[in-house]
Structure 1
Amino acid sequence: MRDYSCPPLVAPLRSGGLADSVYETAAREPELPQLARRDSPDGSTGPWREMTAAAFAEKVMGLAKGLLAEGVRFGDRVAVMTRTRYEWTVFGYALWSIGAQAVPIYATSSPEQLRWVLADSESCAVVVEHEDHAMTVGSVCGGLRSLRHIWQLDAGCVEWLTDRGRPVDENEVHRHRWAVTPEMTAATIYTSGTTGRPRGCAITHANLAVECDTLIAGWGGLMGEPGQQPAILAFLPVGHVYGLMVTVLCVRGGYLLGHQPEMAVRDLVPALQSFRPTCLFAVPLIFEKVYARARMIAVKSGRGDLFERAMDIATRYAEAMEARSLGAGPGPSTGLKARHAVYERLVYRQLRSVLGGRTRNVVSGGSTLSRELGLVFSGAGITVYDGYGLTETTAAVTAQPPGRPRFGTVGRPMPGASVHIAEDDEVWVRGPMVFPGYTGLAEARREAQGPASSRNRGDGHAPEQSDDGGTLLRPHNEELLQDGWLGTGDVGHLDDGYLVITGRKKDVIITSGGRSVAPMVLETRLRAHPLISQALVVGDDRPFVGALLTLDPEVLQQWRTAMEQYGPSRPGSGSNMSEELEREVQRAVAAANSIVSRAESIRAFRVLSDEFSMEDGLVTPSLKLRRGAITRMYAAEIDELYAR
């Protein structure tokens, strides 16, 4: 199968923009709980306090008037450099209320990255979180002629701007809002830049609206129990299109939206348990960490063996349920149901309590979740709906069908979208959520020069003037293909319409013997072991495949404690802790090697002393590894791996 399409489920946005839903909801259901805030300045601690739709609309209106008073005009771009906070949502909708664009910037951006985005986007203002961010902006703002304002959240900029806007008539805001059209750019979102410079993607009001409306219409029943207002805790970086989409989804769907600024599991789990979301949007690493934490708690309480047996039953139960939903089996046997019911009381409830206790469906995106982990969560009563998309596709372009997930895949095309597998197995996508093009000064220069591939073929595209006055650059031929198809750069295949992603074209490793190896399959299987937190497969122009591994500090400490207590009496234990740890990691490598041919298997590995981090520039804010940066930083270790 090379092609698969799904008919549209909702009509595209015909008029207006995203901000309209704020004022329409406030007029229709003024007392509807729309947002939940915490008392601390950054919203990370304290009890949750609900804000009604009417109060939210009032906050948005007040800030929109302040932005007009400070000279922000229709079509202007305003950069917002914060973690996932309540104020980001207010700023986003205030900007959309006056026809301006948001330029989300990761709060962890380096000075060089910040300068690049501010210059490339020609932002007229930047919102920062605290004094350190303000100083970083100050250090790079020389020569940024378009930048006129720096506003700081922790210095009370929301209140200050709202006060500045009091003399402005509300009708002035509404006149701006009524002039917004669906084709206008709502946000310029920069790609995470795993290789090369980030590129600004022009995401329109129509893109975000059709993405969210489709999810509400087709998947809304999964967001909460019947008659229950869905409650979503947003913690993904709003600098990433996935995080932005979750925000818009909640506002358009009338869901209760909470904000959690930290993604680290030690901070996230208490927030989940106090907020008690009805559905969860996360990336695979979060689910891996949550599972590892649950396992660690079970081992510490002396219930490790019980936990492992329960997870085995969960996997078998989920496999049987999956087969029945796909028409390939009768479902769980009577005996399996009985054992599953026992572990429901003893284990599964406790696992769900880590997520707050009310979550029965979760959405995973950003990268592919392993089939094994998807089955485990599903068998424990938390169904994982894995999806696939890019910044250029406004988040998901494929998703698991409601009630019929096929674990290990990223689902079928979203309603209105199509997937095509090219001759070289590259995944092409098309649909109303696909962006119109890139934007920014760098793109204009690149387009004017013309890439060599386009110049040689004579099929480059000329810059266009967008509806909001900016320069819009259509993707070059290597990305946007004929008839609106977008080449994703990912490789995969279709199985009965379900898309399976096997890796990135640019990440494929070619050994010195000419063997092509897709590292993603091995890396995903390696991370399935509780001890291994990150894995990077290497081997380009080398005689065989190797791997750099990092260990989860919490799980490692728990493992050491267990070894000190039980290690000497365990059969096959090494003579010391280091030897036994190497044996354990070797078992994880052997498990990964079991799913590939011998020529593709990992022959040598190195366990690094520290995890890859955003602070070191080795991980993107969406938690993807920067392969080039890692291989450069650890070049000596890689050389030693092969010399040995």
Structure 2
Amino acid sequence: MRETATPFAADHSGHRNVTDLLVRRERAAPDHAAFDVPEDGGWRRVSTTEFADTVRAAAKGLIAQGVGAGDAVAIMSPTRYGWAVADLAVWFAGGVVVPVYDSSSPEQVAEILHDAGVRAAFSGDDRSRALLESCTLPLGVWSLDDDLDRLAALGEGVDDLDLEARRTTAGPDTPATIVYTSGTSGAPRGAVLTHANFLGQVLNIAAAYRDIVRSDGSTVIFLPLAHVLARGLQLICLASGMRIAHLSAPSEVIAALPSLRPTFLVVVPRVLEKIAEAAAQKAATAGLSRVWDDAVRTAVAAGSRREAREAGARGTWAPVAAARTRVHDAVFFRRVRALLGGRIRYILSGGAPLPTRTSLLFRGMGVPVVEGYGLTETTAPLTGNLPGAIRSGTVGVPLPGSAVRIADDGEVLARGVGVFSGYRDPRDDADAFVDGWFRTGDLGRLDDAGRLILEGRTKDVVTTSQGKTVSPARWEREVESSPLVAYAVTVGDDRPYLTAMLLLDREAVARVHDVRDPRPLDDDPAIRALLEPVVTAANARVARSERVRRFALAYAEPDDRELVTPTLKIRRRALLQRASDTIDRLYL
């Protein structure tokens, strides 16, 4: 199969722009709890009407301060409730939102604000405020901590009719936001997403996942709201009545889940791997490592059986396996579910490939993981597994209103309601489209059921000096399945054979080895002894031409924005440049 599509499940033509989502939800359920916000050490419920009133007041303030229709307004802040207020307020004022990652460097902030023509901005902390103010914006910078009430007071002279006229200025094809890609292999580019892109995605994804996104459910958003996935999720939940809580630091999430008790979470794969690693560590501390290992095998097998049943396979009842699952559930699995709040029905994983074994593990523990795939340019998910039809190892079928085609060279092409029409700089569009399809830059294939299986990035393909062309994604995924390895990056362009840089998780290494050892990491025989079997196993699962002969070690530094994007993807080109001397030594 080379092409597949899914018809629309919802009609968004009756909506003029994104603000209609809030207006209609307020009309339908004014008193329904839309948000949980932190207050006095606990959480306070915020109704749809209270949120809408706060948005309108802030929007009036923006208008009073001179923000005009079509003006670009930046938001640079950690994930928080105020981010949601500012996002909708800019749209109510007729503006265009420009999200900026709060971890961005001063140079990146200046480039984005200049390129987008930003006239005003919201800041979430002292650092972001200082960076934004250093750019001397015409209409200034407002703090999400201190200035929302001041904005509301400034806007008291703007009447409701004037606000409504401004709110309805933007049409479906009007730009809603300019999102700058995080740039794993090149300079960030400003993707212009329209109101129609958001509306089509929000309504169709909500229809596809109506069993998950429900008014009696809740979620916790801790991914950066500067990322389109988190913003899309927020709009879907807001339009559907699913209550939202925000957390600015992923490290706060696990402690907060028992009190927030969400029914649904969106995570990146590393979060799930960390949860599994934490469970393994607790088992080891209690002297139960062998029991945990058996529990993992049991859960993976149980997850496989459940997926097979969903696919229509018939199997004999296995009483011994069922009994083992019940025992491990009593000892381990129910504790993992309790750690997640005790009410989780599904988890959505995106942002990077999810190892099949991790997906099956959580499925077997009673927490199904729905893996999806999308890009900034597709306004969040393009494909996704659906409840009752999850197939681990795939990122599912095209979501309603979307289509996927596989090009002759294996590149994944996309078309549909969420696919943008182009970048802010038209020069960036030159190689972005082919025959009306967006070139994702990812390699993949479709199975017989039309599910997409990703197989790497086109720009990550390695061509050796012997003319062998290799897609290293499978090898890298196998190595990254080790808790010790945060990133595996294959090297070999114009070289006689493949080598690799393995970037290790410092905390994971500390649990199994004394990190105070004065020897350089790459010269530490104990660490290399732990990783040699991992590399050997990965080599055994790929073709001879895809095997790595030698590897070098370094620690991953998640806060190093020159090497790691805000969504925790490695910037391969930057890594290869920084580690060039180390890589050269691998070929001596």
Alignment TM-score, normalising by the size of structure 2: 0.95
**2: CA distance between counterparts of 1:385 and 1:271?**
22
Residue pair 2:90, 2:96 contacting (<8 A) in 1 also: yes
Residues 213 and 240 in structure 2, CA contact (< 8 A), matched pair in contact too: no
Residue 394 of structure 1 corresponds to 379
Question: Which runs of 5 or more residues in structure 1 are unaligned?
Answer: 41-45, 448-474, 562-576
Of 192-201 and 130-139, deviating more is: 130-139
Matches within 5 A, 1:116-265: 116-141=111-136, 147-154=138-145, 156-223=146-213, 229-263=216-250
Question: 2:491 is matched by which residue type in structure 1?
Answer: V
| Residue 623 of structure 1: aligned partner | 568
User: Residue 581 in 1 paired to residue 568 in 2?
Assistant: no
Distance 1:324 1:23, change over 3 A: same
Q: Among 78, 83, 86, which residue is 1:88 paired with?
A: 83
* One of 537, 540, 544 as aligned partner of 1:591: 537
State which drifts further: 304-313 or 319-328: 319-328
The equivalent residue for 1:72 is 67
Which residue of the partner structure matches residue 570 of structure 1? none
- Taking the aligned partners of 1:331 and 1:602, their CA distance within structure 2 comes to 41
Superposition RMSD on alpha carbons, in Å?
A: 1.9
Are residues 1:513 and 2:466 paired? yes
1:525-546: per-residue Cα shift (whole Å, max 9, x none)? Answer: 1121122222222122222212
Q: What pairs with 1:265-414 in structure 2 (closer than 5 Å)? A: 266-330=251-315, 333-414=318-399
For 2:213 and 2:552, the matched residues in 1 are separated by 42
The structural deviation recorded for 1:118 is 0.4
Deviation track 1:381-431 (CA, whole Å, cap 9, x = no partner) reads 111111111111001111112211111111111122111111111111111
Aligned equivalent of 2:446, options 494, 518, 537: 494
How far does the alpha carbon of each residue in 1:255-285 deviate from its partner, in whole angstroms, 9 at most, with x for none? 101111113xx33221333322111111112
1:523 match: 476
Which of 99, 103, 106 matches 2:98?
103
Superposition pairs of residues 625-644 of structure 1, within 5 angstroms: 625-643=570-588
What CA distance in whole angstroms lies between the structure 1 residues aligned with 2:288 and 2:492?
A: 40
Give the conservation status (yes or no) of the 8 Å contact 1:108–1:621: yes
Report the Cα distance in structure 2 between the residues aligned to 1:268 and 1:259, rounded to whole angstroms.
Answer: 9
Identity %: 36
- What count of residue pairs does the alignment treat as equivalent? 579
CA distance change for structure 1 residues 618 and 162 in 2, over 3 Å: closer, same or farther? same
1:286-344 CA-partner distances (Å, limit 9, x unpaired): 22222212221221222222211111011111111212211244276232222212211
1:619 and 1:331 map into 2 onto residues whose CA distance is 47
The match for 1:504 among 457, 462, 473 is: 457
Secondary structure (helix, strand or coil) at the match of 1:550 reads strand
- Whether the aligned pair in 1 keeps the contact of 2:298 and 2:325 (CA below 8 Å) is yes
| Whole-angstrom CA distance in 1 between matches of 2:410 and 2:74 | 37
Partner of 1:571: none
Q: Is the 1:276–1:358 contact (alpha carbons within 8 Å) kept by the matching residues of 2?
A: yes
After TM superposition, give the deviation of residue 616 of structure 1 in Å: 4.5
Superposition pairs for residues 437-516 of structure 1, below 5 Å?
437-439=422-424, 443=425, 446=427, 475-476=429-430, 478-482=431-435, 484-496=436-448, 497-516=450-469
Pairing 1:555–2:508 present: yes
User: Residue by residue, what CA displacement relative to the aligned partner does 1:140-184 show, whole Å, maximum 9, x if unpaired?
Assistant: 44xxxx643122234x11111111111211221111123332221
State the distance in 2 between where 1:258 and 1:280 align: 11
- How far apart, in 2, do the equivalents of 1:421 and 1:125 lie? 42
> Match for residue 517 of structure 2?
none
Q: Whole-Å Cα distance in 2 between the matches of residues 117 and 221 of structure 1?
A: 38
Alpha-carbon deviation of 1:486? 1.1
Q: What's the CA shift for 1:98?
A: 2.0
Find the partner of 1:59 among 50, 54, 61.
Answer: 54
C-alpha displacement of 1:614: 3.5
Residue of structure 2 equivalent to 1:19: 19
My pick for the range that moved more, 597-606 or 17-26, is: 17-26
Q: 1-side partners of 2:57 and 2:287: how far apart? A: 55
Q: Distance in 2 between matches of 1:132 and 1:367?
A: 29
Are the equivalent residues in 1 in contact too, given 2:17–2:196 (CA < 8 A)?
A: yes
Do the aligned residues in 2 keep the contact of 1:219 with 1:402 (CA within 8 Å)?
yes
Equivalent pair of 2:475/2:546 in contact (CA under 8 Å):
no
**SS of 1:606 mapped into structure 2:** strand
Q: Which amino acid aligns with 1:272?
A: L
Cα distance in 1 for residues equivalent to 2:117 and 2:216: 40
Report the TM-score, using the length of structure 1 for normalisation. Answer: 0.87
Segment of structure 1 superposing worse, 392-401 or 593-602: 593-602
**Residues 258 and 366 of structure 1: is their aligned pair in 2 closer, same or farther, counting only changes over 3 Å?**
same
Cα 1:590–1:193 shift into 2, 3 Å: same
State whether structure 2 residue 548 is matched by structure 1 residue 602.
Answer: yes
Deviations 1:20-70 (A, max 9, x none): 222332233222110111137xxxxx3111111111111111101101110
The 8 Å contact of residues 111 and 140 in structure 1, kept in 2 or not, is answered as no
2: distance between equivalents of 1:412 and 1:330? 26
Aligned partners of 2:382 and 2:398 also within 8 Å:
yes
Q: Distance in 1 between matches of 2:178 and 2:115?
A: 11
How far apart are residue 605 of structure 1 and its match? 1.3
Return the alpha-carbon distance in structure 2 between the equivalents of residues 331 and 518 of structure 1.
Answer: 39
Secondary structure of the residue aligned to 1:642 is: coil
Which has the larger displacement, 73-82 or 292-301? 292-301
Mark the runs of 5 or more structure 2 residues left unpaired by the alignment: 515-522
Q: Tell me, in whole angstroms, the C-alpha distance in 1 between the residues paired with 2:289 and 2:172.
A: 54
4+ runs of 1 displaced by more than 6 Å?
none
User: Does the 8 A contact of 1:201 with 1:437 survive in 2?
Assistant: yes
Please tell me whether the aligned partners of residues 429 and 487 of structure 1 are also in contact (alpha carbons under 8 angstroms). Answer: yes
